[in-house]
Chain A
Amino acid sequence: MTATTTFWIIIVGAVFTYLTRIGGHLVLSRFDRVHPRVEAGLNAVPAAVLTSLVAPAAMEGGPAEIAALATGAVVSFLGGGMMTIFFSGGAVLIALRHFLS
């Protein structure tokens, strides 16, 4: 592709990306009251989207990757905070990759 085409793909892609980032709010703010079902659906957004980002990565991963995520989940259920989950999962990943390779 020519340099100009690349430039314009980036610009048009950026404009549309910005529209996705403001669009949901623009649509929703036209309504005076949010239907309870819509409300409940939106409350499910963080868990739903973040899970969709993780799950295929876990499926594609080998034992080290799955063990790292499992460690993170267990640490969280034991009451660990964000940073503890982050670093314990990372440590298990690095250790297992060294031993399993």
Chain B
Amino acid sequence: MSAECLAEPRPSSYFLSGVRESIPITLAVLPFGLLFGALATEHGLSLFETVLMSATLYAGASQMVGIELFNAPIAPWVVVLSIVAVNFRHVLYSATIGRYLDHWTPLQRSFGFFFLIDPQFAEAERSMENGRRISFAWYMGLALPVYIGWVGESWLGALFGRLIPDAHAFGLDFILPIYFLSMVMSFRKRPLWLPVVGVSAIASIIAYRTIGSPWHISIGAIAGVVLGALLASTATKEQEQ
């Protein structure tokens, strides 16, 4: 019996290792949760609406876009469209990660995909790359602390927004780009990493300067993905010849 236990760790140990790996994400996201809560009340959202938004949308960038637009003189469907535009990249995430989740039940998949935010996706991809199977327990161990933190921070930010210290002096406003950079770098051993990074960087910057935020995220992402697909096809053709 003990040998079996050694061969197949219990779900709780997977869950706990997910919790451990969630710590840097929780830290990186923390100032943004507080900031969102503070900005949301400043823009006239009630405490209930602020917490509801974090609990149901659960997507920082699109929540910021949303609160900017609530007061703008535009139709409600335009606000929804803008939120969806920011979140469109998640389509790529679920297509990418879904390939590795055949061993999940449909219920686990429909529940788990709710938590598929940027860092969740990046950590899951990294885990696959290191040859580990993505267990549902590990995935939820990673997801739940970040989710609970995000909702709690929005609530705290909404209540005590004025007490937040000078975010700029502590570098808190730029912590997320540094975190995302470290994730970009962690994929550098993948084939075509450098060309993909180069093309996505150029495309997203041009889109940011011309069309504007939030479209630069989807445009930059699609440029890199298309390049990856094109270069791979020429590489396989060369191999065949």
Interface residues of A, Cβ cutoff 8 Å to B: 1, 3, 5-14, 16-18, 20-29, 34, 36-59, 61, 65, 68-69, 72-73, 76-77, 82-83, 85-86, 89-90, 93-94, 97-98
Among B56, B95, B230, which residue has the most Cβ atoms of chain A within 10 A? B95
Q: Which of A24, A47, A68 contacts B98 (CB 8 A)?
A: A24
Contact A82 B186 (CB under 8 A): yes
Would you list which residues of chain B between 72 and 131 have a CB under 8 Å from chain A? 76, 79-80, 83-84, 87-99, 101, 109-110, 113-114, 116, 118, 121-122, 125
Docked CA distance A27–B179 (Å): 30
Contact A37 B49 (CB under 8 A): no
A-B contact list, 11 entries, CB within 8 Å? A9-B70, A20-B88, A25-B109, A28-B99, A34-B99, A36-B236, A42-B99, A52-B203, A56-B208, A57-B174, A85-B178
Docked CA distance A42–B222 (Å): 10
Interface residues of B, Cβ cutoff 8 Å to A: 24, 28, 45-46, 49, 52-53, 56-59, 62, 66, 70-71, 76, 79-80, 83-84, 87-99, 101, 109-110, 113-114, 116, 118, 121-122, 125, 168-171, 174-175, 177-188, 190-193, 196-197, 199-205, 208, 213, 216-233, 236
Contact B182 A49 (CB under 8 A): no
Q: Which of A29, A37, A48, A61 contacts B200 (CB 8 A)?
A: A48
Docked CA distance A66–B69 (Å): 30
Contact A93 B171 (CB under 8 A): yes
Q: Which residue of chain B has the shortest Cβ distance to A17 in the bound complex? A: B87
Q: Which residue of chain B has the shortest Cβ distance to A56 in the bound complex? A: B208
Contact B80 A16 (CB under 8 A): yes
Give A83 Cβ to nearest chain B Cβ, in Å.
6
Counting from the closest, the 4 A-B pairs by CB-CB distance are A48-B224, A44-B228, A52-B220, A40-B232
Docked CA distance A101–B101 (Å): 49
Contact B181 A25 (CB under 8 A): no
Contact A6 B49 (CB under 8 A): yes
Q: Which residue of chain B has the shortest Cβ distance to A96 in the bound complex? A: B171
Q: Which residue of chain B has the shortest Cβ distance to A10 in the bound complex? A: B53
Contact B174 A93 (CB under 8 A): yes
11 additional A-B pairs beyond A49-B220, A86-B28, beta carbons within 8 Å, are A5-B76, A10-B56, A21-B94, A24-B92, A46-B183, A47-B224, A49-B118, A52-B218, A54-B184, A82-B183, A93-B174
